Chains A and B, each alone.
Chain A
């Protein structure tokens, strides 16, 4: 049985829930079982926000996870809180323009992407989330880079073709970041 559990975490407004939704939709389009579960409530209004996404070959039991295979941390409180809950051999992706410290665990793979800085440099405002996701896609192989547009079209209106293009550009930037 193959099941991958992702946790996206950061500030409200960083597009955390959207990033997770995009990945969940891609899982659906791959014909897999998926679930997407957000933290909800006051933390969405400017505090920390997170969402978990499960992509599985078989039906998903609990949508609530207490550990995860992949952590995407977009602020320090998120890394502090969720680093210990990452499974051994898991992957942690850090927005290194917002998080000064390194991952302390030595039994996980850590990736540092200055996503917020890159978004600012490349004129992709507010798309640090998709830049870091690009690197997640490269390192986990969760989806084929040729399929980037299809899930985006499901969650962004056709009328916002400009937004679809910008999001995909951001993912590609993160995908190719060395």
Chain B
């Protein structure tokens, strides 16, 4: 294994993308993700790649569409308000079945909001960004090492299913440094017979397009696409369970709040309360089956989020509201403490009887 190095989350994402064979980065600066662009501006010229600071987030995502259509690995990154601007492009990527990696290092919202960490783009990530019937794969790393691994894997998933992979992290994850191993192994090469690479008059031209004026055709496209999404739901769910074997209270948390929640679980257990945690790594596809299984055993759930309560709805849906689900929430750039989570665990323990 290669020597571990100390890296910021943002830089680790950028380096992992280069290791994954991404040679095209388009972006526009915004706190707290600017280090991704800064790192790319230094590294891309050295590996024969393209770093381009576009005139806007909208321009950047459209450049991503263009490169992806040629079959090359490509990415863009931004923070919350910038992702809103990219929404149209995200829909066009889906409509054209183009793979891409998009990173959102979230900050508090709505509007310009603030620059401190938040997880309040959960809905935007798993549902909202972009019009029309489509899904995207959403990965939520909880360590700098996982930022490397999920970026690397994110490109593979995007290529395999011809979808956008969105890395959803927050300002804390982007700014913090942890030791990482950059030993990721070989890049998976995906055959892209659909790509626009020039026919050399040897084949029929490929067309990348999202316009289908005949409703019959558009419905057919959507149904085919959803068959692919079904495969993603069957094969690609990722989650981590922490002390769930005998747990009576199940925390559900992703990203940095999962780290905070882990501390709270440990303290709760020292106090004799059997807490555990399910940490979704894929926010879409959401680990519904794992939660449903947990619902058979635990007394109650606590959804821990840096938002006013967004993922909690997916938890309730997943368990079909069989058990109470409490919300432990901070918002606007404030961070949940282990004590906040512990208080909710105790409350859940009492409600659960």
> In the complex, what distance in Å separates the CA atom of A154 from the CA atom of B4?
11
In the complex, what distance in Å separates the CA atom of A37 from the CA atom of B9? Answer: 10
> B177 to A61, Cβ gap below 8 A?
no
Tell me which of A33, A36, A40, A62 contacts B177 (CB under 8 A): A36
Q: Does B146 contact A (CB under 8 A)?
A: no
Stretch at the interface among A21-29, A117-125, A134-142, A163-171: A21-29
Given A35-B178, A37-B176, A41-B115, A61–B337 Cβ distance below 8 Å?
no
Determine which of A33, A34, A36, A62 lies in contact with B259 in the assembled complex, contact meaning CB atoms within 8 Å: A62
B260 pairs with A62, CB closer than 8 A: yes
Interface majority SS on B: helix, strand, loop or mixed? mixed
Residues 302 to 343 of chain B near chain A (Cβ within 8 Å): 335, 337-339
A41: B residues at CB distance < 8 A: 31-32, 115-116
Chain B residues, Cβ within 8 Å of A154: 5-6
On whether the beta carbons of A64 and B260 are closer than 8 Å, the reply is yes
Q: Is the CB of A25 within 8 A of B32?
A: no
- Assuming the contacts A63-B259, A64-B335, asked whether A37 and B179 have C-beta atoms less than 8 A apart, the reply is no
Q: Is the C-beta of A38 less than 8 angstroms from some C-beta in chain B? A: yes
Whether the Cβ atoms of A21 and B177 lie closer than 8 Å is: yes
Query: Which has the most chain B C-beta neighbours within 10 Å: A25, A63, A66?
Result: A63
Please tell me if the beta carbons of B262 and A40 are within 8 angstroms of each other in the complex. no
Chain B, residues 165-179, CB within 8 Å of chain A (1/0): the string is 000000110011111
B259: nearest residue on chain A (CB-CB)? Answer: A62
Least CB separation from B338: chain A residue: A62
Closest approach, in angstroms, between the C-beta of B255 and any C-beta of chain A?
Answer: 11
Nearest-neighbour CB distance to chain B for A53, whole angstroms, equals: 9
Is B124 among interface residues, defined by CB-CB distance under 8 A? Answer: no
A28, closest chain B residue (CB): B179
A37 to B260, CA, bound (A): 14
Residue of B6, B256, B259, B335 most packed against chain A (CB within 10 A) = B6
Instruction: Report how many residues on chain A are interfacial, defined by Cβ distance under 8 Å.
Output: 19
Residue-wise interface mask of A (37-60) relative to B, using a CB-CB cutoff of 8 A (1 in contact, 0 not): 110110000000000000000001
Q: Looking across the interface, which residue of chain A has its beta carbon closest to that of B175?
A: A40
Which chain A positions have C-beta within 8 A of B335? 64
Closest-by-CB residue of A relative to B116 is: A41
Within 8 Å by CB of B172, from A25, A33, A37, lies A37
Pick from A25, A28, A33, A63: contact of B176, CB under 8 Å:
A63
Q: Are A61 and B115 in contact (CB under 8 A)?
A: no
Pick the contact of B4: A28, A60, A61, A66 (CB < 8 A): A28
Chain A residues whose C-beta falls within 8 Å of the C-beta of B337 in the assembled complex: 64, 66
User: How many Å from the CB of B292 to the closest CB on chain A?
Assistant: 27
Segment 3-40 of A: residues with Cβ below 8 Å from B: 21, 24-25, 28, 33-38, 40
B230 at the interface (CB under 8 A from A): no
If A28-B6, A41-B115, A154-B6 touch, whether A61 touches B176 (CB-CB below 8 Å) is no
Q: Are B263 and A40 in contact (CB under 8 A)?
A: no
Does B260 lie within 8 Å of A35, measured CB to CB? no
8 further A-B contacts with Cβ under 8 Å, apart from A25-B6, A28-B179, are: A28-B4, A28-B6, A35-B178, A41-B115, A61-B259, A61-B338, A64-B335, A154-B5
Sample 20 A-B pairs with CB under 8 A, ordered by A number. Answer: A24-B177, A28-B6, A28-B179, A34-B178, A35-B176, A36-B6, A36-B177, A37-B175, A37-B176, A40-B32, A61-B260, A61-B262, A61-B266, A61-B338, A62-B260, A62-B263, A62-B338, A63-B176, A64-B335, A66-B337
B binding-site residues for A, Cβ under 8 Å: 4-6, 31-32, 115-116, 171-172, 175-179, 256, 259-260, 262-263, 266, 335, 337-339
